Amino acid sequence: MKYILFILISPLLIFAHPHTFIDLYPTIVSKEDKIESIKFRWLMDEMSSQMLIMEFDKNLNGKIDKDENKYVKENYFDHLVAYMFYTKIKDKTILTKPINFVASIEKERVVYSFTINLDEKKSDFYIDFYDEDNFVAIMLKKEFVTSDIKYNIEGIDNDFYYTSRLSFEKDK
Amino acid sequence: MSELYHEFITQITNWQYSLNKTISSSIRTVDDGNIFFTYGLVLTIAFLYGVIHAAGPGHGKALVALYFTKEKQSYKEAFKVGYLISIIHAISAIAITFILYFIFKTMFQHNFNQYVNHTMTISATLIILIGVYFIVTSFINRNKSVNDEIKDKKSKYTIAFTIGVVPCPGVMSIVLFCVLLKKITLGILAAIVMSIGMGLTISIVGILSVLFSKKTDSFLKKKNYLLELLSGILITVLGVFLLLGSL
């Protein structure tokens, strides 16, 4: 059955493969057994950044100004709601609602920074990072995470797309 | 999905991630050292990037596999089609990058996405037509055996054009990156070499499909039209899914 499913679904992916790589840096803000929020930093790959900077930095001053930030948010970032910002919290049972969005340029690379407020117990809490279209690969490594509570990074078998999971220790 | 396929996707993505980083930093520093060495290094990485990039899902490998399973072609033909696709892929990517860059400079990303979407719609429509054509010919040829060597050269070129016309955003990114750093020649060379790498992977898929097709010859004998019919149906379904995805 798996193979029949594979044959039927594989056409969807005929042109799909990652072209943009985002280094994901999450900072976990926690208090006792609760995760209050997570601050995210997306660091785009150098090639995609060049393409984006050409459009974002309209006055060519090497940084994203306030009006340019508004443009990036409205024309690029907000549209990612359709993909839940590549951030699926507990199998999409919690809506991904980013706040405090700021776009910037650091060493020729575009950075998106934002926060997601949570107020969730750390036990059994996890977030999967992936793009169903497989056009963007979210790269999450152990050393990218800042957290006072113990966490784990693992690759998840999510059928056809690259998925990383950030999870926290279960209560004993 | 199987553990093996998951491992494959993870490995392919990680390799591409590393190569993407390496090629962009190499392109930036190309003027710093011996020009022949640095150009050679960038082009070698571009070739490897092309081979691995095309090994993941995409680049019409499913269509190539179905086509060569249906058609009784030679290994040489499979190799030729793989490279024909890569040539069209390279021309399409280079041409579109330059057109978009010089006409819509500040709106490159926006127009880039739109163009890729339009070409995908055209490509999906062509794939549906090819699938329907294969279904019809399988009925017409249903009383002929595999030894009759029913070959259709036109469909081979249609397949190559259909897949190749959708420019690879990966190739376009490298070309644009080089253009922005005022290394236009390197950008064009990198696009060509990366496409050669992709052509190798696509050719291997075609060759493996020919091998599979030859192995099934003795089994299917006069029922060969069933394989053609199945390929036609799968190609049509593939085109419909793609069309829906691009609209």
> Looking at per-residue confidence, does A161 or A70 come out higher?
A70
The per-residue pLDDT of chain B, averaged, comes to 77
Q: Which residues of A touch B3 (CB under 8 A)?
A: 157
Which 8-state DSSP code applies to residue A135? Answer: S
pLDDT given at position A106: 95
pLDDT given at position A36: 93
Q: Cβ–Cβ of A21/B177 closer than 8 Å? A: no
Measured distance CA(A110)–CA(A22) in Å, rounded: 10
Q: Which residue has the tokens 């044959």?
A: A7
Mean pLDDT on B55-83: 73
pLDDT given at position A124: 81
- Where is B198: in which H helix or E strand? helix B184-220
Residue A1 near chain B (CB below 8 Å): no
Strand partners, A42: A24, A112
* CA–centroid distance for A149 within its chain: 20
> Looking at per-residue confidence, does B157 or B115 come out higher?
B157
Is residue A84 very low, low, confident or very high in pLDDT (cuts 50, 70, 90)?
A: very high
pLDDT given at position A160: 67
B153 token code pair: 């050269």
Q: Cβ–Cβ of A46/B238 closer than 8 Å? A: no
Q: Give pLDDT tens digits for B31-65.
A: 777 788 888 999 999 999 888 877 766 656 777 77
For residue B167, the chain A residue with the least C-alpha distance is A15
What interface predicted TM-score (ipTM) does this complex get?
0.84
> Looking at per-residue confidence, does B150 or B195 come out higher?
B195
Q: Which amino acid is at B222?
A: K
DSSP class per residue in A2-52: HHHHHHHHGGGGTT----EEEEEEEEEEEETTEEEEEEEEEEE-HHHHHHH
Could you give the 3-state DSSP secondary structure of residue B216? helix
Hey, where are the domains in chain A? 15-168
pLDDT given at position B208: 84
Q: How far is A26 from chain B (nearest CA, A)?
A: 19
Q: Give pLDDT tens digits for B97-134.
A: 888 787 766 556 666 666 666 767 777 777 788 778 77
What contacts B62, CB < 8 A, 6 or more positions away? Answer: A10, A11, A14, B238
> Looking at per-residue confidence, does B76 or A39 come out higher?
A39
Residue A55 near chain B (CB below 8 Å): yes
Is the pLDDT at A48 greater than 70? The verdict is: yes
Q: Cβ–Cβ of B173/A51 closer than 8 Å? A: yes
Q: Cβ–Cβ of A157/B6 closer than 8 Å? A: yes
CA-to-CA separations, B25 to B28, B97, B224, in angstroms, rounded: 5, 21, 52
> Looking at per-residue confidence, does B237 or A128 come out higher?
A128
B46 token code pair: 């571009």
Residue B68 near chain A (CB below 8 Å): no
Q: Tell me which residue in B3, B58, B176 faces A16 most closely, judged by beta carbons.
A: B58
- For chain B positions 148-187, those within 8 Å of chain A (CB to CB) are 166, 169-170, 173-174, 176-177, 180
**Do A148 and A103 form a contact (C-beta atoms < 8 A)?**
no
What contacts B204, CB < 8 A, 6 or more positions away? Answer: B82
Q: Tell me which residue in B56, B112, B174 faces A17 most closely, judged by beta carbons.
A: B56
Q: How far is A63 from chain B (nearest CA, A)?
A: 15
Q: Cβ–Cβ of A162/B1 closer than 8 Å? A: no
Least confident of A29-33, A69-73, A157-161: A157-161
Least confident of A158-167, B47-56, B101-110, B194-203: B101-110
Is the pLDDT at B246 greater than 70? The verdict is: no
Please work out, in degrees rounded to the nearest 5, the angle formed at the alpha carbon of residue A22 by the alpha carbons of A21 and A24. 145
Q: How far is A75 from chain B (nearest CA, A)?
A: 9
**Do B66 and B237 form a contact (C-beta atoms < 8 A)?**
no
What contacts B75, CB < 8 A, 6 or more positions away? Answer: B207, B210, B211
Q: Which amino acid is at B87?
A: I
pLDDT given at position B1: 52
The percent of residues in chain B predicted with pLDDT above 70, rounded, is 74
Residue B110 near chain A (CB below 8 Å): yes
